[in-house]
Amino acid sequence: MRIVAMALTMALLAGCATANETFGMGQLCGRQPYCGAATDIEIIKGSTNDNDVYSRALAPFAIIDLPFSIVADTLILPYTIFHMRPAEE
């Protein structure tokens, strides 16, 4: 039970990549489908680069956040698709 509580706490402290990318100021990929999960995957991939200290520090949090981001991205998929369409004139 402690491990689950610790994992949940770490995920909440790390922030949700989906919320940051879709509704926040983080615009790595904008309003694209599964942008939060893509952000987490890019952080995890970047952690293998020896020069990327930032990604190496965030990789454990991105690993924990990834399943939550996939679920959140799926839940807001209709919103994301609606806002991807060009404005009708």
Round to whole Å and give the CA distance between 7 and 1: 10
In 3D space, the residue among 79, 41, 70 whose CA is nearest the CA of residue 58 turns out to be: 41
Domain that holds residue 15: 2-84
Q: Is residue 89 part of a domain?
A: no
pTM of the model: 0.72
Predicted confidence band of residue 87 (pLDDT cuts 50, 70, 90): low
Q: In the predicted model, is pLDDT for residue 86 greater than 70?
A: no
Q: Is residue 55 part of a domain?
A: yes
Q: Is residue 19 part of a domain?
A: yes
Q: What is the pLDDT of residues 21-46, one digit of tens each?
A: 777 666 667 668 888 889 889 889 98
Segment 50-65 mean pLDDT: 84
Q: Is residue 15 part of a domain?
A: yes
What's the domain count of the chain?
A: 1
**Angle between helical axes of 77-84 and 53-75 (0-180°, round to 10):** 100
Structure tokens at 36: 């939060």
Q: Is residue 12 part of a domain?
A: yes
Q: Is residue 29 part of a domain?
A: yes
